[in-house]
Every structure is written in C-alpha cells, then in structure tokens.
Amino acid sequence: MPLWDIIPIITRSGIPKEDGVCGMTKINVLDEFTANQIAAGEVVERPASVVKELIENALDAGAGRIVAELENGGFTAITVSDDGMGMVEEDLILALSRHATSKINSAADLSCVTTLGFRGEALPSIAAVSKMHITTRTRDILTGSILEAEAGKIISVSPAGCPPGTTVTVKDLFFNTPARRKSMKSTSTEGASCGDIISHLALARPEVSFELRAKGRRVFNSPGTGNLLDAVTAVYGAKLGREMISVNAGTKTIAVRGLLGKPALNRSTRSHITIIINGRYVRCPAVSTAVEEAYRTFLPQGRRPVVVISLSISPELLDVNVHPTKLEVRLLEEERVSGLVIDIVRNTLKNNNIIPSSLHKNSEKIVSLPDNARKTLPIEPEQAKINFEEAYYSPVDSVKNGNTGKLPVDLNQLHDSGFQERGNLGTAGEEKAEYSGGDKLLPELSVIAQLPPTYILAGGAEGLYIIDQHAAHERILYEEFLDGFKEVSGQYLLIPVTLELDYREAAILTDKIVWLNSGGFIIEHFGGNTFLLRGVPSCFPAGYEKELFLDILDYIKERGTGVSRIEVFDRLASSIACRNAIKAGEKLSRPSMDALLKRLARTENPYTCPHGRPTIIHLSYRDLEARFGR
C-alpha cells in the first residue's frame, strides 16, 4: 500500500498494518505512580541511600547539627533532624513533587552546581516507597507545618509546633515493593552501611556536628569543630588520628587538603580512601588511582593507604550530574588533577618522618607527632566516641627525652663466619658515622654492628634503629636509576640485540618507538616482527638489556598503550634496583655500612624500598625500658 494511502488511517489509538487495520500502540506515557516507582529504584537502593539523601538536604539547608536515628537497621524507621533553614508550608507541599528543587533554576546552573542536591528527585522518590512524615519551621515564623504522605501521595498537611529546622521520618521502607525489601541484607548490615555513609559525610563536612542513634542510644558523634583531624578521630579513633599527616597544597585553580595515613596504617581494600570534592563525598576512580600511585613505593603490593583527601575545584571543571545518587563525579581535566594529586601526596610523604616503631604490647604507647599535627590534635584517646571498625594500630616514633647516651651493650662483636664479605659500598673512611639527610628526614645515626643475616643496627639520640640492608640499598639504587633515566641519554651497544617479537609486541613497539627513542633507547626495525636494539639509556646495567627491554613491552601490554613513560621507567628502575641490591646473607664491612646509611640519608624517601617494605624501624629507649621492666 502506498505511503499516501496509509497516512489518512493513522490514529492515536493504533499503528496501521499493511491491510490498513490499526494495531495497538507500543509506546505508553507512564502514570505518575509508576514513574515515581522507577525513580525510587534508581535513587533509593537501600536504607543508607535514604540517610544519604536526607542528610545532604539538611546540609544544603545550612544545618550545623544533624541527628539520624535508625530503627531495625532503617527498615522500620529512619529519622533525620536538622537545625537548618526549614520550609514554609507552600514549599513543603512542593518538595514532594518530582523535579522540584530550590537549588537550581535552569539548565545553565548545571555547569556550576555548588549544592549536594539539585535533581529534585530525592524526597518524592523516597516517599514513593515509604510512609513519610515531615515536620519543619523557618526561623522567622512561630508555627511550623507537618506533612504526612504514603506511597508518594500527600495525605495531610497541618500546622504544628516544632523548633526551627526540619525533621523527616521515613517509616516502613519498601512496604509497597516487597521484591526490593526481600533483596535487602540483614538489619545489622544495612545499619552498618548507614553508619558508613554518616562517617564519610562527617569527614566531608567537619564543620557540622553529626550524631547517629540506634536502639535508643548514641553510637556515633562528631564534634563539628571544623577541624578535619577532629572528624577523623571521631570516625577512626584517636590512635589512628595521631598517625595522620596533614597535607595542604595546590595551584590557583585546584587545592588539595586532607590527612594522609602513614604507610603502617595500610589496609587490604580501598575502603579507607575517602575522596571529597567541593565538600561532596564521592567515588572518583581517577583521584583514588592517583592516591594509590602516590603511595606505590611506600606500601607493599596489594595494600591500600588510609587517606582523607579533599579537593577544591572550580565547578566548571566538574560534572556531578552523571548518576542519580550523585555519588560519582567526572573530572573534565582528569589527567591534570591526577598528576597534581600524585605530586602533592608523594612529596608530603617524602617530607615527613614515617619511620615505623616496634613497641611492646604492654608498654606505654607514647607517640610523637609533627609540630603542626601536635598543635591541632584536640581529642585524647579516651574521648573518642566510637570506631565503626577496630582501627589497625601501628605505633609511631617514641622519644626518650633527655637520654642521648649510647646503648649499654656493645654489639660490635656480633658476627657470622658463614657470611660472604662484600667490599665497600662507598668511600666512608674512618670518620665518625653520623647520618642525616639535607632535610633531616633521618636522624643522626651511628653504626653499631651487622645482625645476621640482613640487618644493620644503628644507635641514635632516640634509641635503636634497625635497617634492612637489602631494602635500603634497593631504595638507593632505585632513586639513582630514576635520576639516570631523567637524563634520557642513550649509549650504543657493542653488539646490537635482536628482538623477535610476536604480532602484539611488534604493534606496541611500532606505536611507541618514537616515545622510546626519546627515552634513550635506539631501536631499528629489521623487517616483519623483528627489531634491533642498538642502544639503551646510559644507566642500564650491562648484560640485562634484552631482558629488561622485554619487561618494558610486557608492562605496556599489561597497562595499555596510554601508560606514561615516567610510570614505565619507574617500574624499570624498581626492577633494576631489586636485581642489583645487596642480598640477605652478604656480610658488610663497617665502612660499607657507614656508606650505605650515608647514601640512604640522601634519598628522597629513605623509609621504604620501591616495593613499599620498610627500610628502617625504630625501637625507642622507652620501649627498651619497658621490655626490661625498668
């Protein structure tokens, strides 16, 4: 049938078939109830989602104190009260309409959102799957309002006596969506998720006091002093708070602030990496990955740091409208921000004392802090309110005030005839062995002896220091090789190395050949998948050219062709250092140990090897006294 014959018989109720008979329409406009149910499925995943949305509304309302109370893990009831600006009755009614918001006026505002909420979906979505009560009053009127709603429908609105602010109570969550209710975990698990959300929001907004109540008792409280260290202490406990390093740096457009855990506070998961952007707790893979990269040579493989890092970025460089729950954001200059975070975090770790201590479990745990942290630590251990999980505690440096004498036992006689003597690692002579980096990262140390099979014992003003000779030498070589790569000068090999590659390796090398040439490699295509390696960077160890170059190709293949040259050379330097460092079981002469400590003190990070293992630990005089019962 010709098109002009079909058009006249098209109606609103059907789609024409070839014989001219209309069928049923396939596109329907959903009713409001169904649309709200779908929106609720996106926004309200579990009780913790309700807690997050209600608290963010309270923060946008200017609240200085927020109290959340849970019944039965949030399934029976969730109540969030705040002392914010409150609402008048007209706004209260509008608040349950979809896409009704006080936070933006037009699409143009989406490019510079500064509030936590702006979609206007939270309250109507929550109301669609619960029984909701809202009590609210503004400060400039004497009488407030109370609204009751069920399954998204307003049942009543009436005057009420109440304090300024807003209290939202959500009862019988998912009562009309039994399938969603059955998919929830246990009440304890869901309650813990609510606590996790509140703790992260407390870290994001340390100027606001948060309180969580469950079963009629207070289980969490943050002081709301505006000091991030206070909030960290409230969430994780005073012991962990004392081992955090303050960071505050950035550029004109990006500021990076927060607290960095010393490497001893590492975890097996990323759960303790808290990312805050413009006061919003978010998941941002780019920043999380940058933090992990900054810690890479400070932590053992597979371990993650404890970090609370807050970024202040121009709203125009941030897209917060990528997910209904607003928990994920997208950086518009991701590479620039990531690079800045890596540099700032890594430099902060390098410029602070992060030597781990070994304390006896029964000794008094006295910790020393950087001066700036000591001045701002407001809460003593017994004042910490709660830990949502028991924080891992690895004590830090202890100080024996006034005791600068030598150890009472002469350990110079320790020896092992099975050791293999190794020549001097440098020119130390017979001068007094005192070591300190230019920036005083290491204390002044004096070699006492070598403890078989791999440790150097050294004394200092604050006690005994034990150095892992392999890890220390590995750190030294790693940084020396990195410095060599920076010069990007290549040297020709006496005999070129033939590289017979598979198709993928040849493709990678072809794509990266100019990139590698600029890094000091001299490579020539010999035909097909065969290449000649004619030259390598001047710092390359002789005899390992082919093996290490193939390692580079393997690493690029694993990480993707977008990997940076700095990252590749960093991995290469780590591999070279490990191969060439002193091994366990090698005996060192006194001048060799002297030289090793001198070179370690000159490194940028003398505390860990490239793989994150400690190079040095500290046993203070107080620790020794505790062990001897003095």
- The confidence score (pLDDT) of residue 398 equals 31
- The confidence score (pLDDT) of residue 436 equals 42
Q: Structure tokens of 488?
A: 């990007």
Domain 227-374, CATH class in plain words: alpha beta
Q: What is the CA radius of gyration of the chain?
A: 32
- The confidence score (pLDDT) of residue 9 equals 42
Cβ within 8 Å of residue 233, ≥6 positions away: 240, 241, 377, 378, 379, 384
Beta strands in 439-529 (DSSP E): 445-451, 455-460, 463-468, 490-500, 522-527
How large is the average pLDDT for residues 44-56?
Answer: 88
How large is the average pLDDT for residues 24-48?
Answer: 66
Task: Please state which of the four CATH numbers 3.30.450.20, 3.40.47.10, 3.30.565.10, 3.30.1390.10 is assigned to the domain occupying 32-220.
Answer: 3.30.565.10
pLDDT in tens, 349-377: 888 877 776 543 333 333 333 333 333 33
Cβ within 8 Å of residue 105, ≥6 positions away: none
Residue 260 identity: L
Q: How far apart are CA 423 and CA 585, in angstroms?
A: 14
Tell whether the model's pLDDT for residue 459 goes beyond 60: yes
- The confidence score (pLDDT) of residue 223 equals 94
Cβ within 8 Å of residue 145, ≥6 positions away: 87, 88, 89, 92, 135, 136, 137, 157, 158, 159, 160
- The confidence score (pLDDT) of residue 417 equals 29
What's the whole-number average pLDDT of the chain? Answer: 76
Cβ within 8 Å of residue 457, ≥6 positions away: 411, 414, 447, 448, 449, 450, 451, 464, 465, 466, 467
Cβ within 8 Å of residue 221, ≥6 positions away: 209, 210, 211, 212, 234, 385, 386
Between CA 188 and CA 196, with CA 194 as vertex, the angle to 5 degrees is 100
Nearest C-alpha neighbor of 492 from the set 542, 449, 456, 528: 542
Q: How far apart are CA 376 and CA 379, in angstroms?
A: 9
- The confidence score (pLDDT) of residue 99 equals 64
- The confidence score (pLDDT) of residue 327 equals 72
Residues of the chain with CATH 3.30.565.10: 32-220
Q: Structure tokens of 480?
A: 């020396």
Worst-scoring range by mean pLDDT, 435-449, 542-556, 582-596? 435-449
Residues of the chain with CATH 3.30.230.10: 227-374
- The confidence score (pLDDT) of residue 114 equals 55
Tell whether the model's pLDDT for residue 121 goes beyond 80: no
Provide the whole-model pTM. Answer: 0.64
Question: For tokens 């910490």, what's the residue?
Answer: 384
Q: Which comes out higher in pLDDT, residue 45 or 494? A: 494
Cβ-based burial of 557 (10 A; exposed 0-12, middle 13-18, buried ≥19): middle
